[in-house]
A and B are shown apart, each in its own frame.
Chain A
Amino acid sequence: MRKAAAQGRIQHHGTGGELFVIMLMNVVLKILTLGLYHFWGKTRIRRYLWSATEFDGERLEYTGFGLELFYGFLKAFVVILVLVLALGFGQYHLSQFSPTAAGALIFAFYVVVGFLVCAGMYGARSYIVSRTRLRGIRFAQTGSAVEYAMKMLGYGLLCLVTLYLAVPFMRNALAGYTLNHTWYGSQQFSYDGKGRDLFGRYLVCWLLAIPTLGISIVWYLAAEMRYVWDHTRAGKVTFGLDLSGGALFGLLLTNLLIIVLTLGLGFPWVLTRSLRFTMSRLEVAGKPDYAALRQTTVESPSTGEGLAEMFDLAPA
C-alpha cells in the first residue's frame, strides 16, 4: 500500500527548490529567446505542479503546449489591437461632429474590453481544465464564456450599487456557474450553494473591514472556500475543506514575509507551500466508479487563455 493513503487523498509533492530551478531555467531561456519562451516556461511550470499533485495515488497530468498559449496570446493581441485602432479611428472622426458621441465611444470601448476580459477569464479556465488529465481521463468545462461574462458584469454592477454588499451573491453565482459546467470525463460536477447562506458571514466581515483595515475579509474568504467545497460534489464523491480564517491568515502573512524578506526570490516556496497547505486540508469522501467513468466528449479549446494572459489574469 502506498503511504499516501495515511495522509489524505489529495496531496501535493511539489518542492520550492525544484520549482526554483524550473523558474531559473525559464529565465535563462527567456533571455536567449527574447522573451518568447514565456509561454513554454509557463507550460513547464504547470507540468511540474500538475504532476506533483496526487489524488488517490494517481498524479494529475498537464497536457498543454507552449505553442497553444502563444497562439492564444497572438489572437488576443490582434483583437485588442483592432479594438484600439477602431477606437482611435472613431474618435478622430466623431470628435469633429459631437463630443458626446466621442465620449460614448470611449465608454463603449471600456465596456467591450471589460466584457472580453471577463469572458477571457472563463476561457482561460476552460483551457486549463481541458488540458488536465487524471487516469487518462480529461477534465472539461462546458458553458459559455459570454454567459459568464454577462453574469460577471451584471453582478459587478450590482456590487457597485450596493457598496459591495452583493459580493457573496456574485461569487456564489460565478462559482456555481463554473462548477456546474465542470466535468471529469463523463462525470459532471455539481454545486448547490446559495448566496444568502454566505451573506451573514460576509456582512460581519464587511462591517469589520474598515476597523480591521480589510483583514476581516480573509476570514470571509476562508468561510467561503469551506462553503463552496462543502456544496460541491461529483457523483458519489463529496468534498470538504478544513480551513479556519486564522489558518488562512497565518498562511498569507507568512507568505508575505517570505516574499518581502527574500526580495521575491522565495516565490516558488510560497507557491508550493500554499498548494500543500490547501490540498492537505481538502477532504474527499466517496469512491469514484472508475470503471463507469468514460472519456469526455466535450471538445477542447484549441488555443489557450490569450485575453486572460494579456491582462495577467490566468492562474500560475
Chain B
Amino acid sequence: MQFTARYADGRTALRHDVTIYVGSDAVSIVDANGTVLDRWPFRGLRLAEEVYVGQPARLIHADKPDANLLIEEPDAVRLVCQRIPGLGGRYLGGLRTGQRLLLWTGALIAVVTLVVVTVPQLAGASARFVPKPWAQALGSAVVESMAPNTCEGSDAMRALDSLVERLTSGRDNPYPIKIRVARDDTVNALAAPGGHVVILSGLIEQAESGDELAAVLAHEVAHAELQHPLRGILRAAGLGLVASAFFGDLSGLGSIAADLGQHAMMMSYTRDDERAADRIAVEMLNGADLRSVGFVRFFERLRDANGSPSEDPDSTIYQLFASHPMHADRIRLIKDLGTGTQPAFTGEEWAAIKGVCKR
C-alpha cells in the first residue's frame, strides 16, 4: 500500500512531500526523487493523538524523536489505521460524536450505579472495624448536638434502665446501652452510634401506655444492637465522599444529584434495617415476656393522627417515623411473632416516666 503524506524530520520545521509505503512490518518514507528518507518499523509506531472523523492523522515513532508523518486523506487515514497493528486505539474516525456520547453516557450510568450500590454497602460493612471507643465518642457527639436538653429523674431513669436490662439480658450487644430522655416535642426516639438511645419527651407524652413506649424503645435498642446508626453514617459518608470527589469537577449539578441520591439511599437502606430491627425487637420483648401489641397500636394511632410526623430528613440519626411506614406486613410480623404477656412497667414506674420532663 502506498499513500501520499507530509514528513517532518524533527530537525527543521520544513515539511517534505513524501510517499509512504506500508509494508508488512514497517513504513518506508520516500521523497519525490525516490530517495528513502527513513524507515519506521511498526513496532513503536503510534498516532500522535486521537483522530476524529475527517481529521488528518499524524504518525510518530518511539525511536524517532520529534519526527512525524502527516496523512491528510480521510481514506488513507482509515486504511493506515486498519493496516498497522496497534494503531487503531486512537482512531476514532469510525464513530461520530453522538455515538460516542451515547456510549459514554451508558458507561457513566453503569459505573455510577455500581458505585452507588457497592460503596455504601462496603462503607456500612466497615462498621465492625470501627473501634468501640470511637463509635461511643461519635455517638456522644451526635447525641449532644441532636438532643442537648436532658431530662433528669432518678425514678424514671431507673425504670427505663431496668427495662433495657430485661430486654438485653442474655443478648450479645456490642455496646452497653445508654438511655437518656431529652426535652423535645418531636414524637421520636433515636439511636446513635455506640449504644446511645435517646427518647424525646414528645414520644413519652404521646404514648398512652408503658407498653407503647417499651415497644419503641425495644426497636431502637435493636437498631443499636445491629449497629445500624454507625452503618448508616458510614454509608452516607462513603457515598458523600465518592460524590464530592468525582462529581465536583462536572458542576454543581453533580453535588445536588449526589445529595439527593444520598437521601434516597438512607431511606431505602433503612427499610431493610427496619425489618431486621422489628424482628430483633419482638425477640427481645418475647425474651423478657413483654407484650408487643403496644408496638402496633402506637404506630397505627400515630399514622391515623398525622400522616408523617418526622421533620428533619437530613438527620444522620435514625429517624423513627420518616423511615417507618407501617406496612401491613410489618404489623402482621409483630402481631404474629409476639408471645409476651407482661406489662413493661408498673403503675408507679410509668407515672415517673410520664413526669420526667414536666417542669
A138-B104 contact, Cβ under 8 Å, with A31-B111, A263-B251: no
Question: In the docked arrangement, what's the CA distance between A265 and B108, Å?
Answer: 15
A62 within 8 A of B: yes
A35 within 8 A of B: yes
Contacts of B104 in A (CB 8 A): 21, 24-25, 28
The interface stretch among B133-141, B241-249, B289-297 is B241-249
What band does the interface of chain A fall in when counting residues whose beta carbon is under 8 Å from B? 35 or more
- Choose from A63, A133, A136 the contact partner of B9 (Cβ within 8 Å): A136
Question: In the docked arrangement, what's the CA distance between A17 and B101, Å?
Answer: 8
Total count of chain B residues near the partner, CB < 8 A: 39
A264 to B242, Cβ gap below 8 A? no
A210 within 8 A of B: no
A171 within 8 A of B: no
A27 within 8 A of B: yes
CB B312 to nearest CB in A, in angstroms, measures 27
- Annotate B255-281 by CB proximity to A: 1 below 8 A, 0 otherwise: 000000000000000000000000000
A291-B107 contact, Cβ under 8 Å, with A18-B52, A51-B55: no
The interface stretch among B10-18, B180-188, B349-357 is B10-18
A292 to B253, Cβ gap below 8 A? no
A24 to B105, Cβ gap below 8 A? yes
B100 within 8 A of A: yes
- Choose from A59, A134, A137 the contact partner of B56 (Cβ within 8 Å): A59
- Choose from A15, A62, A134, A262 the contact partner of B49 (Cβ within 8 Å): A62
A51 to B249, Cβ gap below 8 A? no
CB B93 to nearest CB in A, in angstroms, measures 13
Question: In the docked arrangement, what's the CA distance between A25 and B249, Å?
Answer: 13
Contacts of B49 in A (CB 8 A): 47-48, 50-51, 61-62
Question: In the docked arrangement, what's the CA distance between A25 and B234, Å?
Answer: 29
B10 to A264, Cβ gap below 8 A? no
Question: In the docked arrangement, what's the CA distance between A48 and B251, Å?
Answer: 21
Residue in B closest to A24 when the chains form the complex, CB atoms? B104
Contacts of B251 in A (CB 8 A): 262-265, 267
B68 to A47, Cβ gap below 8 A? no
B226 within 8 A of A: no
B50 within 8 A of A: yes
Residue in B closest to A61 when the chains form the complex, CB atoms? B48
Question: In the docked arrangement, what's the CA distance between A48 and B52, Å?
Answer: 10
A293 within 8 A of B: yes
A290 within 8 A of B: yes
A32 to B111, Cβ gap below 8 A? yes
B159 within 8 A of A: no
- Annotate A173-193 by CB proximity to B: 1 below 8 A, 0 otherwise: 000000000000100000000
B246 to A31, Cβ gap below 8 A? yes
A137-B66 contact, Cβ under 8 Å, with A35-B246, A61-B48, A295-B10: yes
B108 to A28, Cβ gap below 8 A? yes
Contacts of A31 in B (CB 8 A): 111-112, 115, 242, 246
CB B193 to nearest CB in A, in angstroms, measures 26
CB A165 to nearest CB in B, in angstroms, measures 37
A20 within 8 A of B: yes
CB A293 to nearest CB in B, in angstroms, measures 4
B253 to A290, Cβ gap below 8 A? no
Contacts of A20 in B (CB 8 A): 101
B252 within 8 A of A: yes
Q: A residues bordering B, Cβ < 8 Å?
A: 13, 15, 17-18, 20-21, 23-25, 27-28, 30-32, 34-35, 44, 47-48, 50-51, 58-59, 61-63, 133-138, 185, 262-265, 267, 288, 290-295
Shortest Cβ-Cβ A-B pairs, 10 listed:
A264-B251, A136-B8, A293-B13, A290-B13, A135-B13, A263-B253, A136-B10, A51-B49, A137-B13, A47-B49
What are 23 pairs between A and B in contact, CB < 8 Å?
A: A18-B97, A21-B101, A24-B104, A27-B250, A28-B104, A30-B246, A30-B249, A31-B112, A35-B245, A48-B50, A51-B48, A58-B70, A61-B68, A136-B8, A136-B11, A137-B12, A185-B12, A263-B251, A263-B252, A264-B253, A267-B251, A293-B14, A295-B66
